[in-house]
Amino acid sequence: MNVAASIVQIVDDDRSFLAATSRLLRASGFAVQTFSSASEFLAQRDDDAPGCVVADLQMPGMNGLDLQSALAQSGNPLPILFLTGHGDIPSTVRAMRGGAVDFLEKRAPKDKLLDAVRRALARDAREREELARQRELRSRFDALTERELEVLSHVVQGRLNKQIAADLGIHERTVKLHRTAITTKLRVQSVAELTRLTDEAGIFTASAQTFPKGQ
């Protein structure tokens, strides 16, 4: 994904520190947006914009951890990187459990900060890529008919055409026709690939794990 399009969102009530951090990240080549409180950020952010959040852990009003949970519940869970004047262990633990990318002291070395920001952006990119692929797969499966999905479910369980035909009470040739339609729509060459793709898309996750006895 396009890293340059990502924006680092900085949230800190200390305007002086906010400005300094913003300068450093801009000088390091990041696109930056600043907010002096968590609520301001949540109100103004672009829901689809990629990037990451650099937030002060201790802020009056909504603090860093509150911001983290608010973000997690939104449709665009940006990775969050916490800065703190002095870290206390309980907050750190909570932050990391909440999925924080990193937890840095405000006076942490520049490289550590920049690395953490890059890591956060990379994670965001990776997550976005994953999400995009999921969406694409989902659209391919969406093209399958009810019957084709039914046949597919038997195919990924390793059933033969003859067995499937018997199970569904249809002609074996009909089963073959459905299989051709499936491989074409899902753009796969082999049964193995079909199975992997189906897995990846998580189509039958709830029911796919049981194999008939004797197979």
- Binding footprint of other proteins on the chain (CB under 8 A): 14, 16-17, 19-21, 23-24, 26-28, 58-60, 63, 83-86, 88, 105-107, 110
Q: Please check whether residue 83 is in contact with residue 54, taking contact to mean a CB–CB distance below 8 angstroms.
A: yes
**DSSP letters spanning 142-206:** HTS-HHHHHHHHHHHTT--HHHHHHHHTS-HHHHHHHHHHHHHHHT-SSHHHHHHHHHHHTSSTT
Joined tokens for residue 1: 């994904």
Q: Which is nearer to other proteins, 110 or 187 (CB)?
A: 110
Joined tokens for residue 59: 């802020």
How many of the other CB atoms lie within 10 Å of CB of 207? Answer: 9
Q: Which is nearer to other proteins, 118 or 140 (CB)?
A: 118
Q: Which is nearer to other proteins, 105 or 167 (CB)?
A: 105
How many of the other CB atoms lie within 10 Å of CB of 139? Answer: 9
DSSP 13: S
Q: How far is Cα 21 from Cα 49, in angstroms, rounded to an integer?
A: 20
Taking the complex as a whole, how short is the minimal distance between the CB of residue 28 and other proteins, in angstroms?
Answer: 6
Q: Which is nearer to other proteins, 88 or 129 (CB)?
A: 88
Q: How far is Cα 99 from Cα 69, in angstroms, rounded to an integer?
A: 10
Q: Which is nearer to other proteins, 51 or 64 (CB)?
A: 64
Taking the complex as a whole, how short is the minimal distance between the CB of residue 12 and other proteins, in angstroms?
Answer: 9
Taking the complex as a whole, how short is the minimal distance between the CB of residue 13 and other proteins, in angstroms?
Answer: 9
Q: Which is nearer to other proteins, 65 or 155 (CB)?
A: 65
Taking the complex as a whole, how short is the minimal distance between the CB of residue 18 and other proteins, in angstroms?
Answer: 8
Taking the complex as a whole, how short is the minimal distance between the CB of residue 20 and other proteins, in angstroms?
Answer: 4
Q: Please check whether residue 103 is in contact with residue 82, taking contact to mean a CB–CB distance below 8 angstroms.
A: yes
Taking the complex as a whole, how short is the minimal distance between the CB of residue 42 and other proteins, in angstroms?
Answer: 19
